[in-house]
């Protein structure tokens, strides 16, 4: 009898610890956007959750920015950037091939197709390498500009979200 009672107590403790661990490991809405919120007037966890959701919706409406959509957009931009960078790889080789063909044609007319092909290959590689470098620089500038704009939108959202929560008597830091 004592042994069965001990097992029941042990199981109850395990379930209690397990449910506490699951509850404490779940992120709040504010924590998921790196905003720290403390209930300034002893608000319950459920009240805080509701207030965070209400303030989130209010901030989205008033700033026009949704942090989760901004994150998805940033990921899509990063993927597009990676694809763009891959498309510029090998451009010198493609330029050399095209230049060699054109050089051979012109060299054939002038009397030395081999020398024309060599000059054309070198010129084509150089021209395409420059084009690829300029395209890569433009791509990097676009990425930096998009990151800066996203950062500004996120800052504006956090200001609005924080102002709403502070009006509801929470202490907020971001």
Q: Give the contacts of 98 (CB within 8 A, at least 6 positions apart).
A: 124, 128
173 strand-pairing partners: 36
**CB of 138 within 8 A of CB of 72?**
no
**DSSP state string for 100-111:** HHHHHHHHHHHT
**Which of the four pLDDT bands, split at 50, 70 and 90, describes residue 143?**
confident
| 3-state DSSP assignment of residue 169 | coil
**Global confidence as pTM:** 0.60
d(CA 41, CA 9): 36
Helix (H) or strand (E) holding 8: helix 2-25
Domain residue ranges in the chain = 43-173
- Tell me the per-residue pLDDT of 148-173, one tens digit each, with 9 for 90 and over: 988 999 999 999 999 999 999 999 99
DSSP string, 38-86: EETT---HHHHHHHHHHHHHHHHHHHS--HHHHHHHHHHHHHHHHHHHH
Using alpha carbons, select from 152, 146, 157 the residue that is nearest to residue 73. 146
pLDDT score recorded for residue 73: 85
How far is 9 from 12, CA to CA, in rounded Å? 5
User: How does pLDDT run across 7-25, given as a tens digit for each residue?
Assistant: 434 444 444 444 444 444 5
């Amino acid at each position: 009898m004592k042994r069965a009672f001990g097992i029941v107590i042990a199981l109850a403790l395990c379930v209690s610890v397990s449910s506490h661990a699951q509850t404490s490991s779940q992120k709040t809405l504010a924590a998921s956007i790196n905003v720290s919120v403390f209930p300034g007037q002893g608000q319950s966890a459920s009240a805080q959750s509701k207030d965070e959701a209400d303030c989130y919706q209010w901030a989205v409406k008033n700033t026009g920015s949704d942090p989760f959509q901004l994150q998805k957009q940033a990921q899509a931009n990063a993927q597009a950037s990676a694809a763009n960078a891959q498309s510029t790889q090998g451009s010198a080789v493609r330029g050399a091939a095209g230049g060699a063909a054109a050089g051979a044609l012109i060299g054939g007319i002038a009397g030395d197709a081999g020398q024309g092909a060599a000059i054309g290959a070198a010129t084509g590689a150089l021209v395409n390498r420059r084009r690829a470098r300029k395209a890569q620089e433009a791509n990097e500038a676009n990425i930096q500009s998009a990151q800066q704009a996203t950062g500004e939108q996120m800052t504006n959202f956090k200001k609005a979200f924080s102002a709403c929560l502070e009006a509801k008597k929470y202490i907020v830091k971001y």
